[in-house]
Structure 1
Amino acid sequence: MGGPDSLTKDTAHDVASHRIASVEGENGGGKEDAKDNALQALSTFLRDDMEACNREIVARMQSPVPLIPQLGAHLVAAGGKRLRPLLTLAAARLCGYEPSPERQRHVGLAACVEFIHTATLLHDDVVDESTLRRGLASANAVFGNKASVLVGDFLFARSFQLMTADGSLKVMAILSAASATIAEGEVLQMATQNDLSTPIERYLEVIHGKTAALFAAACRVGAVVAGRPEAEEAALEAYGTNLGMAFQLVDDALDYAADQQVLGKTVGDDMREGKITLPVLAAYQAGNEEDRAFWLRVIETGEQHDEDLPHALDLIARTGAIQTTLERAQSYARAAMQALDIFPESEIRQLLMDAASYTVSRVN
């Protein structure tokens, strides 16, 4: 896609709608095609809800300010798993929510969750100076930092409009608290950057804030719209929290273990940015004196050379740091599945359990 002047408002809407239609076609191939990807199977099961959510997202990205739908079309074109809104829709269905044609609260709140997530991505890419997002040029690389920050603000505002339209103070409390927690997590990550003395517990606090909190809120509001008891709200919140922790741990492992084309972003970005993640902490703590001196140089002082990333990957492989990270992710995934024990057996419950299992086996 070209720069910010290459699309009018109308064509931006058309591109976004076309991309969503393409994604729906890819995800609509039936259960046989979806067996090997639990998220695709979940999306297929919830196809009608996801289509309604996607239409809501495209509609709410519209604005008389042309740059907003242009940048929105760029984000939609990049695709993505849409996991967080999918969790809201799935949680509502698990809890027996029955929408009416006139009132589909789960759809509006799923779109709200996606706007919160996308706003944080726009801001993160500016902070991290990222140039790739989901295999394409990041929005800040195409449109500039100012536009990315301001459109991120717009999406946050849209999310709060959707909360207000839902009309539930409880829902607003859950999602606004999650938004604040995400910001705290990002600030805490910045505070731990370049600091190899960061305890693993503090790292886990970071990923809870930046990732797991929104997973938890996305799931919990599904129970709220269905009017379910607090115990079921708490169970879905626990499911989302543990799923989010597993998801981010795997993301951090993939930054040192994935194929760049499959990952959709530059491998080694976390090292270049001096981010403290479990693979680095595990490799640093398990390394010898020479290994630790290497990590101190590249992470704490930021002195990096072209040959450092291959050496870092070798150290991480040699110390079993990826395995350490994935084992912890697997423990969170198991906890997520156990949280669903409160619900009776059903196809949607099994799909959510499969999604937790898939999270720790994915390659991007």
Structure 2
Amino acid sequence: MPKYLEHTPLGSTRQLRRWHRARILQAIRAEAGISRLKLARKLGLSPSAVTEVVAELLNEGLLTERPLPPTGQGRPSVALEVEEKRHLALAWEIDVDRMAVALLNLKGEVRARVVLPPAPMQLDEALALLQQHTAPLLAGVRVLSAGLALPGLLEPAQGHLTLAPNLGWADLPLLERFQEALRSLGLVGIPAVVENEANAAAYGLYALGGLALEHCVYLNLGVGVGGGVVVERKVYHGARFHAGEVGHIPLDPEGPPCRCGKRGCAEAFLSYRRWQEDPSPARLQEMAERLAQLSAMVLATLDPERIVLGGPLIEATGEALLEAVQARLPRYALAVHDPAQITVSPLGREAALLGVGALAADVFIEQMSYEEA
């Protein structure tokens, strides 16, 4: 359960009730088919309190119920589940090689998905295209929250995009523009969140990827190289919100030029574009050497349980690149680090899109915990 739901909040009875609503919904998300009685025991609440809150959530359409098979004498229990088809989180992805739209339920299951061409030159044009392809998906749907992921340096709380070099964008009020686009779709007043694509993908690994990791690093190998850092089940943004920018760690000062103006950055060696220029065994081995070097630095600095690889380069090279990196890791890493700590993302190319959808769904639960019902 998220940390903001683990400790009883200080405040009024109303605040405590909102917190219980969020805890109950989150617990049912985590354990589909749970009964009211088991839910009360799990959360340490009275059965009457659980029954009252569940009735509210059923009335709002956020939950459904079905009878459980009888187990003997007495009244049969009823299984509680989150509603799966109508109450959804909206996810948008903007990237250099594609854009995408998805609608996910609170269990993280995709109910609709559209993949679009690469992002146009201007942010407003990209948002207009995403709006256009989202509108037909909204009939009969209640959008609970929305998230937008893109590759760039941004401050999620303020929603300010400092720089997205591969998109050619800088100094933009991203969250404000995103909310304007949502309002144009009639989605007014819903929670909205913006996040760096690698951070979103890292979050998705925990929320949807079946990786029960307290600490991990996701490396997105695409047009650029981005990193998402998860510490104690939360995305770590750093003091200036720029944590995870591993693509600009210099690996060789005499190496190829990088878009940032330096030479020999990890991104200059490991971009998908570079692979497309020469998809040869020799290029794969060279990339494996550099990725092993970068991975050793990440392991020594952050000590994650796992480094998870994803993005277009991994989609193109798959197990061949992974195995070559694992074979080379001992050359650079400390003896305490195991090559098996480097793995491929189970979410594939969809990691950022699904991750920002999962993040949006969790933001909805978090807001429920402190806002009026």
Q: What is the TM-score normalised by the length of structure 2?
A: 0.29
Specify the structure having the higher radius of gyration (Cα): 2
Higher helix share: 1
